[in-house]
Each structure stands twice: as C-alpha cells, then as structure tokens.
Amino acid sequence: MWKDFKEFAFKGNVIDLAVAVVIGAAFGKIVSSLVENIITPFIGMLTGKIDISKLHVEIGNANFTYGLFLQSIIDFLIIAFSIFLFVRILMKFKRKKEPTKNETPAIDAKEELLKEIRDLLKEKNGI
C-alpha cells in the first residue's frame, strides 16, 4: 500500500497540480489586492467617491455587506479571464502542425498492408 501511495504522490501530474494550486493561491492574492487597492478606488472615483467595499444594507439587526460580494465577483472575473488567456496561449504553443490541403499525410507500413489485404479480398470476392 505504501508503494502504491508513493507512486501516486510522486507522479508528475500530482506534483504539477500541487505547484499549480500554490501559484494559483498566490495569484489570487495579487488579484484581490489589485481589485481592493486599485480597481475599487478607481470605480469609487468614477461614481462620486463611493467605496464599493463598504456598500451594505441593514435589515433589522442584520447587516448585509453586498459591496464585499461585488468585490469578490470582480476578483473572480479577473482571475477567470487571466486563466482563460493563459490556457489559450498555452494551447497555441501545443497545437500541432496540421497538414495543408496539398500535403498528404504519411501512411505507415501497417496501413499500407491493410490496404493491400483489402484490395486482395475485393479481387477474390469479385467486388
């Protein structure tokens, strides 16, 4: 059982995932700081000195701070868009060269052999 766990834990995918989680958490903090310290004050400046993070509604004894929720939504949208751009750029680098219309894909020996067998069967059956 220990051997199976070691194989699982030290596979490249698991380590890559752990690194991605740590970097993602750090990136989330950077984006949260960007939203909290730059974007939110800028929006407040445009809307007449309104601080989005302090927007709230009091209903009875309950205090609903929906401004912080809006700030979290902005965080999420920036992080999601950044990840989208990163994955898109990564996929462009990984994209394989597709054959053009004039190029014919190379046929390996197995395919050639299968074609010959097919043609022989057609001749034998009179098709």
Quote the pTM value.
0.52
CATH of the domain at 65: 1.10.1200.120
The whole domain housing 86 covers 2-125
pLDDT in tens, 3-62: 877 777 677 677 777 888 888 888 888 888 888 888 878 888 888 877 777 888 999 999
Mean pLDDT of 98-127: 78
The residue behind tokens 């999601």 is 80
Give residue 96's pLDDT. Answer: 64
Name residue 63's beta-bridge partners: 58
Identify the pLDDT of residue 127.
66
Number of helices (H) and strands (E) in the chain: give both, helices first.
Answer: 5, 2
How many domains are contained in the chain?
Answer: 1
pLDDT for the residue numbered 102: 65
SS3 64: strand
Residue 71 pLDDT > 60, yes or no? yes
Q: What is the pLDDT of residue 43?
A: 80
User: Which tens digit of pLDDT belongs to each residue from 93-107?
Assistant: 877 655 566 666 677
Query: What's the Cα-to-Cα distance from 122 to each of 28, 89, 108, 119, 126, rounded to whole Å?
Result: 64, 49, 22, 5, 6
For helices 12-34 and 66-94, the axis angle rounded to 10 degrees is: 130
